[in-house]
């Protein structure tokens, strides 16, 4: 793997906490993601199923984790199944895990090849009353493609129709929402790579540069720092397209006087950073651009302070909305008389700030988390207010990654420049990534 080895105590502790959530006499199965085809004989780069990675650290296709805490044989309480490698596979695809390597990565003693799965699994099922299976229950999930988990659910229900079936998703959503100290290390590394990348960009952006050239600089810096690349599709939106929330064409030339909004984040060891910065293409904000920029920054600074234990995501966003409302009035974008008469369910600020303030962050860029669950220490959320004024071609979003603690929130991306004057100065001096 490109990333440096991860202490397998992370995965050992994750499995321990997971096993405590299962009913007695249960077996749980986690499958890796599929290799996704392109056309002809091509495949997209492999991306691991994040629950499997969370519990094992295994970063390879055709892998299965089985956890059966109450089975009679100790060696079968945690089992890893891997794709059997050979000289032919090594010749064409490169090195794959040996059983010893898989054991070392995951901290699991028992490792079998995949062809042994059916025999072993049937032994475990016969000793179990409950079978826990995994499905993608993320609120934004796109279920248009059948997964390895989907196929396994169908097979399992046919072969073992009389068992009780349980859902793994609620358990994993609950566990993964709170990050351990070991889990924070790769998130911080992803944030550091993202910081270095932004400083590189500040010395590169100027009138005439194409949006895709900025994207290329981002990819270059990510890859040279052991990242597989962006944690999500990069947004480089200049001019009026800075007002398009999910603009990913990145195919325009940046013009003097325009803003360019860059929403990007490095992946590191499958963990994500998610940062947005908005900078002036010419290196200096206009008076109006700076007014709007500082309004967004004021909202963000106040919003970060509100990321404390006890609040829910909905309660938090309503509080941030009130702060945004005041800034929009100061900018002359909202009429205070109309604000007093507005519908509570459809506040006027949404015309200029139409999206949520925060989302959970971790192994997935929109990570697991319950909007109704009060914030707890160990949760990591983005904080990303924005103001979008299409008729002025001004779209500004500022996004940082915040760790909730028992005391004050900790900004994991605090070192990434965000003051307007600092950005202007770094652009003027031709900022570069530290060697």
Q: Are 49 and 31 in contact (CB under 8 A)?
A: yes
CA pair distance 192, 410, nearest whole angstrom? 15
Distance set, CA 207 to CA 6, 238, 427 (Å) = 42, 11, 12
Phi, psi angle pair for 42, to nearest 5°: -90, 160
291 contact partners, CB below 8 Å, separation of at least 6: 331
Q: Are 205 and 254 in contact (CB under 8 A)?
A: yes
Q: Are 402 and 385 in contact (CB under 8 A)?
A: no
CA pair distance 396, 260, nearest whole angstrom? 9
Q: Where are the beta strands (DSSP E) in 135-280?
A: 164-167, 235-238, 259-264, 267-268, 271-272, 275-280
319 contact partners, CB below 8 Å, separation of at least 6: 306, 311
By 3-state DSSP, what share of the chain in percent is helix, strand and coil, each rounded to 5? 40, 15, 45
Residue 395 corresponds to which tokens in the numbers above?
């779209």
CA pair distance 95, 400, nearest whole angstrom? 37
Give the three-class secondary structure for 232.
Answer: coil
Which are the catalytic amino acids? 41, 246, 263, 274, 355, 359, 366, 384, 388, 397, 399
Q: What is the DSSP letter of 266?
A: B
Beta bridge partners of 3: none
CA pair distance 224, 30, nearest whole angstrom? 32
Phi, psi angle pair for 264, to nearest 5°: -155, 165
Kindly tell me the sign of the dihedral angle through the C-alpha atoms of 336, 338, 344, 346: negative
Residue 349 corresponds to which tokens in the numbers above?
């600020």
């Amino acid at each position: 793997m490109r990333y440096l080895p991860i202490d397998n105590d992370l995965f050992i502790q994750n499995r321990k906490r997971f096993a405590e959530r299962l009913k007695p006499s249960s077996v749980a199965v986690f499958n890796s993601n599929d290799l996704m085809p392109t056309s002809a004989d091509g495949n997209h780069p492999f991306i691991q199923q994040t629950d499997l990675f969370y519990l094992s650290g295994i970063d390879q296709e055709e892998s299965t984790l089985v956890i059966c805490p109450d089975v009679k044989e100790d060696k079968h309480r945690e089992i890893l199944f891997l794709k059997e490698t050979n000289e032919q596979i090594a010749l064409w695809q490169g090195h794959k895990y040996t059983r010893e390597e898989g054991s070392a990565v995951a901290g699991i003693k028992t490792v079998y090849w995949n062809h042994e799965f059916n025999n072993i699994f049937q032994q475990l099922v016969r000793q179990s009353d409950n079978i826990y299976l995994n499905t993608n229950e993320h609120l934004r999930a796109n279920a248009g493609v059948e997964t390895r988990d989907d196929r396994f659910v169908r097979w399992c229900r046919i072969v073992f129709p009389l068992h009780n079936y349980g859902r793994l998703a609620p358990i994993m959503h609950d566990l993964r929402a709170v990050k351990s100290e070991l889990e924070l290390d790769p998130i911080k590394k992803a944030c550091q790579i993202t910081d270095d990348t932004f400083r590189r960009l500040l010395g590169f952006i100027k009138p005439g540069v194409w949006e895709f050239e900025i994207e290329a600089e981002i990819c270059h810096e990510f890859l040279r720092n052991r990242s597989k690349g962006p944690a999500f599709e990069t947004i480089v939106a200049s001019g009026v397209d800075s007002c398009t929330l999910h603009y990913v064409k990145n195919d325009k030339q940046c013009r003097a006087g325009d803003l360019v909004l860059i929403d990007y984040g490095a992946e590191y060891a499958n963990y994500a950073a998610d940062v947005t910065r908005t900078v002036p293409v010419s290196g200096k904000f206009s008076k109006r651009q700076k007014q709007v920029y500082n309004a967004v920054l004021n909202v963000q600074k106040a919003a970060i302070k509100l990321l404390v234990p006890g609040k829910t995501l909905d309660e938090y966003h309503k509080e941030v909305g009130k702060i945004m409302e005041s800034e929009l009035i100061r900018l002359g974008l909202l009429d205070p008389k109309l604000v007093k008469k507005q519908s509570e369910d459809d506040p006027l600020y949404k015309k200029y700030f139409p999206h949520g303030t925060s989302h959970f962050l971790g192994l997935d860029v929109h990570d697991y988390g319950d909007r109704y669950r009060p914030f707890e220490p160990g949760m990591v959320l983005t904080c990303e207010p924005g103001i979008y004024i299409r008729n002025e071609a001004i779209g500004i979003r500022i996004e940082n990654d915040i760790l909730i603690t028992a005391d004050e929130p900790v900004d994991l991306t605090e070192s990434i420049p965000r003051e307007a004057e600092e950005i202007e100065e770094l652009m003027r001096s031709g900022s570069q990534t530290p060697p």
